[in-house]
Amino acid sequence: MNDLTCIIIGGGHAGLGALKAIKEETRGMANGQRIRFVLIDKQPGHVRKVMLFRPAAGGEEIMIPWTHYGFSEGVEFMQGTVTSVDSGEKRIRYTDAQGNDARIRYDLLVVAAGSIVRRPDPDQGGIALTDPQAAADIRERWRANLRQAAGETNPKERKRLMTVAVAGAGNSGIETSAELALAMQKEASTLGLNSSDISVYLLNAQERLFPEGPEKAGRKLDQILSDCGVTVLHNRKAMREQAGVLTLSNSDRLPVGLCIWTIGLIPNPALRSMGLPLTSEVQVLVDECYRVQGMSGVYSIGDCARIVDPSTGKADQMTCKEAGPQALRLGKIVMADLEGRSAPVHKSFLDTFGFGLGQNRGLMWVRKWGLDIIITGKLAWKVKKLGWDFASWLR
Ligand SMILES: Cc1cc2nc3c(=O)[nH]c(=O)nc-3n(C[C@H](O)[C@H](O)[C@H](O)COP(=O)(O)OP(=O)(O)OC[C@H]3O[C@@H](n4cnc5c(N)ncnc54)[C@H](O)[C@@H]3O)c2cc1C
């Protein structure tokens, strides 16, 4: 009897989780047929996207080669960029690592093509923290600036070279600014500079930090960031960085050595031409069991899918704390569909969020039974680190 082929598009936090969950639930078999799993991703390894700011600050490697996952029997990895899905022929089309156009048939397909980091207009200057290469460029730039500052005799110019602005104060901007301030202070001391001359500004377009959580958590984040040496400017947007001057929305001009943009995520634009049904925000349209509308055997989860809790009407956000539970549920859904049973339906995850703010600093928030529980310090940092490992299926 022929094998069934289950293809997973995207080995990000959601796709890796889907592979693991479907494999474990089915034990590699369905109705007496063996399931052959194929994970296809355009990258040579899994990018730990949630940790993108770590290489920008400390140079940490966040790409894990696929071989690390020691995929057991029945799983193949293919490097390629999927261009379209033909649900009639049950085939996907992709460009392989050598640039060749290729096709592969599926019986089951999981679309987990994720999101990309939003970029400012090119004339707005600075560097957007979009991927590991951009993170490396950012690190190279601020370190070069500090080396230059060490030999600079003009105090104003030295101060500028020791100043960084982080534009966008979502969780990525918050985490980036904290880690960066600590890393820059350390490097400044090594170079014989005064570490207290390091200035990291975090530009927040909103009135307070973390508007999704309670005010108290926002205030605590402000405090921890200030302890790290970050100055948060609320109600301020970065407009444009040019020749070492950052213009803000209130017309203030801030001399900076570097402006880093961390202005959020958008669903993967490649979805536009894949032939999948999409919402106006370019997310895949799925039902409450992650089945793609009108395409038999096709599922979608993670940042690229519009997933709504049918009991509350609440849509999941683009976070991996939501992608993880979706992946686990997808394993059960696929198994139920293969056996013709009724499948579990989507349910929103707990209201919770964690911030890693540099070694032994963090903030965790959970809302349960109407209570806001906030943990800070070493424990929050440890939980956050565990979260990063779980998100990349390393535990
Ligand atoms: C700096 C930063 C910090 C974050 N912090 C948190 C946090 O603290 N907590 C939290 O819950 N969330 C956080 N997020 C959000 C989190 O990273 C995303 O929700 C998560 O990455 C979604 O996982 P995904 O698998 O859906 O998508 P992605 O991680 O985007 O993975 C998509 C995968 O698909 C591959 N791919 C894309 N297009 C194609 C194609 N055409 N063909 C083949 N492969 C393709 C990509 O290479 C990638 O491997 C953060 C994001 C950033 C950028």
Q: Considering the domain boundaries, does residue 44 fall inside one? A: yes
Do 223 and 163 sit in the same domain of this protein? yes
Q: Considering the domain boundaries, does residue 233 fall inside one? A: yes
Q: What is the residue with the minimal CA distance to atom 7 of ligand 1?
A: 50
CA of 151 to the centre of ligand 1 (A): 40
* pLDDT value at residue 74: 85
The b/e string for 156-176 (b: 16+ C-beta within 10 A; e otherwise) is eebbbbbbbbbbbbbbbbbbb
Do 39 and 94 sit in the same domain of this protein? yes
Residue that is last in its domain, among 263, 284, 316: 263
Across-strand partners of 247? Answer: 240, 253
Q: Which atom of ligand 1 is nearest to the CA of 49?
A: 17
Do 35 and 96 sit in the same domain of this protein? yes
CA of 112 to the centre of ligand 1 (A): 9
CB 239 within 8 A of CB 249: yes
Q: Which atom of ligand 1 is nearest to the CA of 318?
A: 19
Do 278 and 246 sit in the same domain of this protein? no
Q: What is the residue with the minimal CA distance to atom 37 of ligand 1?
A: 113
Do 128 and 175 sit in the same domain of this protein? yes
Work out the average pLDDT over 327-356.
Answer: 96
Do 281 and 299 sit in the same domain of this protein? yes
Across-strand partners of 30? Answer: 33
User: Ligand 1: which of 92, 96, 320, 365 to mutate, judged by most atoms within 8 Å of the beta carbon?
Assistant: 320
Q: Which atom of ligand 1 is nearest to the CA of 270?
A: 41
User: What's the whole-number average pLDDT of the chain?
Assistant: 96
- Summarised one tens digit per residue, pLDDT across range 242-284 is 999 999 999 999 999 999 999 999 999 999 999 999 999 999 9
* pLDDT value at residue 1: 57
- Ligand 1 site: residues with CB under 6 angstroms? 9-15, 40-43, 47, 49-50, 52-53, 81-82, 112-115, 117, 171-172, 268, 270, 302-303, 318-321, 323
pLDDT band per the 50, 70, 90 thresholds, residue 187? very high
CA of 232 to the centre of ligand 1 (A): 26
Helix (H) or strand (E) holding 80: strand 75-86
Q: What contacts 241, CB < 8 A, 6 or more positions away? A: 124, 125, 126, 165, 247, 256, 259
Q: What is the residue with the minimal CA distance to atom 35 of ligand 1?
A: 10
Q: 319 in helix, strand or coil?
A: coil
CA angle 129, 132, 134 (to 5 degrees): 45
Do 43 and 87 sit in the same domain of this protein? yes
CA of 10 to the centre of ligand 1 (A): 9
**% of the chain at pLDDT higher than 90:** 96
Q: Considering the domain boundaries, does residue 376 fall inside one? A: no
Give the tokens for residue 387.
């979260």
CA of 131 to the centre of ligand 1 (A): 10
Do 218 and 240 sit in the same domain of this protein? yes
Q: Domain range holding 31?
A: 4-50+59-117+266-349
Report the distance separating Cα 134 and Cα 170, nearest Å. Answer: 18
Find the CATH number of the domain harbouring 106. 3.50.50.60
Work out the average pLDDT over 125-148.
Answer: 98
* pLDDT value at residue 395: 76
Q: Considering the domain boundaries, does residue 377 fall inside one? A: no
Query: Poorest-confidence range of 72-86, 90-104, 143-157, 321-335?
Result: 72-86
Query: How many structural domains are present in the chain?
Result: 2
Residue type, 143: R
Q: Considering the domain boundaries, does residue 366 fall inside one? A: no
Do 230 and 336 sit in the same domain of this protein? no
Q: Considering the domain boundaries, does residue 360 fall inside one? A: no
Work out the average pLDDT over 178-206.
Answer: 98
Residue that is last in its domain, among 263, 295, 315: 263
Q: Considering the domain boundaries, does residue 383 fall inside one? A: no
Work out the average pLDDT over 1-13.
Answer: 92
CA of 243 to the centre of ligand 1 (A): 32
* pLDDT value at residue 70: 74
CA of 388 to the centre of ligand 1 (A): 12
Do 171 and 282 sit in the same domain of this protein? no
Place of tokens 């909103």: 206
By the 10 Å C-beta count (0-12 exposed, 13-18 middle, 19+ buried), 98 is classed as exposed
Angle, in degrees to the nearest 10, between helices 320-339 and 13-26 = 30
Residue that is last in its domain, among 313, 333, 349: 349
- Summarised one tens digit per residue, pLDDT across range 63-81 is 999 988 877 778 999 999 9
Report the distance separating Cα 321 and Cα 387, nearest Å. Answer: 8
Do 41 and 144 sit in the same domain of this protein? no
Q: What is the residue with the minimal CA distance to atom 38 of ligand 1?
A: 113
Work out the average pLDDT over 181-204.
Answer: 98
- Best CA proximity match to 302, nearest among 280, 333, 325, 277: 325
Do 43 and 157 sit in the same domain of this protein? no
